[in-house]
Chain A
Amino acid sequence: MADEMMEPGGGGVTKKFLYVNRKAPYGTIYALESLEVVLIGAAFEQDVSMIFADDGIYQLKKGQDTTASDMKNFSPTYRALEMYDVEKLYVEKESMDARGLTPDDLVVPVEVKTAAELGDLMENQDVILSF
């Protein structure tokens, strides 16, 4: 209701939000919750970045099949992030290498950064949320 009425971008302060995703997509609710928070938060037109590291990389893996687990495959939703103006998606190089993955294995375009580079990125944020 409220969000239907509200035209976002009404002169509020823009902060830099970073969402750090470190867990596998299924088995816990963290990945889905993070994605929902990002989508909801997008209505407030903040400067949003997302990092995927450790098993969180698997959230973006192509070809997910959840039929056996009876959970919804929400990986297609990451492709909607661009329309929510969430375009800064980073993956940690060390985590990608350890799992033998390249950006071609992922459902969305990402930027690969080393752990050290991601550390610098974190330094520059106003808010960091870890999932």
Chain B
Amino acid sequence: MLVFEKNNMTDEIEQLVNKYGKSRSSLLPILQDIQRKHKFIPDFAQQEVARLLDIHPVEVYSVITFYSFLNTKPKGRNIIRLCQTITCDLAGKENIAKAIERELGIKFGETTKDNKITLEYVNCLGMCDQGPALLVNERVYSKVTPEKAIQILNEIK
């Protein structure tokens, strides 16, 4: 990270700490905001969060690695999550997965070369009555067909 990037990151985290309060229970909302903006939580950000909340950096790392929506490594600008749980599975999630993989030329768990899209599986999205379900960033799509899935992909910037 360049020095000015580090400074920006520090400013940003200071603002978040002011917004949520300097206490351990603010940790998750702070990390969620960093994740939302940067799509991952860089090492430097983890250290700064730890310093500003007065906890050990390892504590921050341990929390990030526990939650599947937080990550320490960069991901694509958009994260596409396909529900893999039983009802969506019965409703044909496998065909959707194959169609998306073919179209993007990557497998689930990977990111496209232009860093635009990361593919992931997710557990139950609570759309079981309208499966298969797809979560694009925080937006949910239901009753997805292979064709519709590709249409959704094409709309992503």
A binds B: no
